[in-house]
Amino acid sequence: SQQGEEDPQALSIQEGENATMNCSYKTSINNLQWYRQNSGRGLVHLILIRSNEREKHSGRLRVTLDTSKKSSSLLITASRAADTASYFCATEHTGTASKLTFGTGTRLQVTL
């Protein structure tokens, strides 16, 4: 299976702290994307990083990609209660153009 694995499965932090989530995958990719899902809602796209990129920023989000280790991380700085959600990485693998394979997700809880 090409499905990515995310680590940790669950993360609980206090507001203001940073949250780091990791994603590993098995085969080469064209790009990797991170999505957020609030409970009972659809997925919202956060950021896309291409295979030739190593780091991208978007507001309080920072994504890194290490293709040699087949892994990515998502860092949320200065977390807020509103960041409470599940976060998924999704990979578009080489030779499977258009198809996204989603990871298992990390459930983030940010408490006041």
| Footprint on this chain of another protein (rule: CB under 8 A) | 3, 30-31, 33, 35, 41-45, 48, 50, 88, 92, 97-105
Smallest distance, Å, CB 27 to another protein? 15
Nearer to another protein, 80 or 99 (CB): 99
Q: How far is the CB of 93 from another protein (least distance, A)?
A: 10
The residue among 33 and 84 lying less far from another protein, judged by its C-beta, is 33
Positions of E strands within 1-112? 5-7, 10-14, 19-24, 29-37, 43-50, 55-58, 61-66, 71-76, 85-93, 100-102, 106-111
Q: How crowded is residue 52: how many other Cβ atoms within 10 Å of its Cβ?
A: 9
Q: Are 56 and 49 in contact (CB under 8 A)?
A: yes
Nearest distance from residue 69's CB to another protein, in Å? 22
Q: How far apart are CA 42 and CA 101, in angstroms?
A: 16
In the bound state with another protein, the residue whose beta carbon lies nearer, of 73 and 101, is: 101
Instruction: Kindly state the smallest distance separating residue 42's Cβ from another protein, in Å.
Output: 4
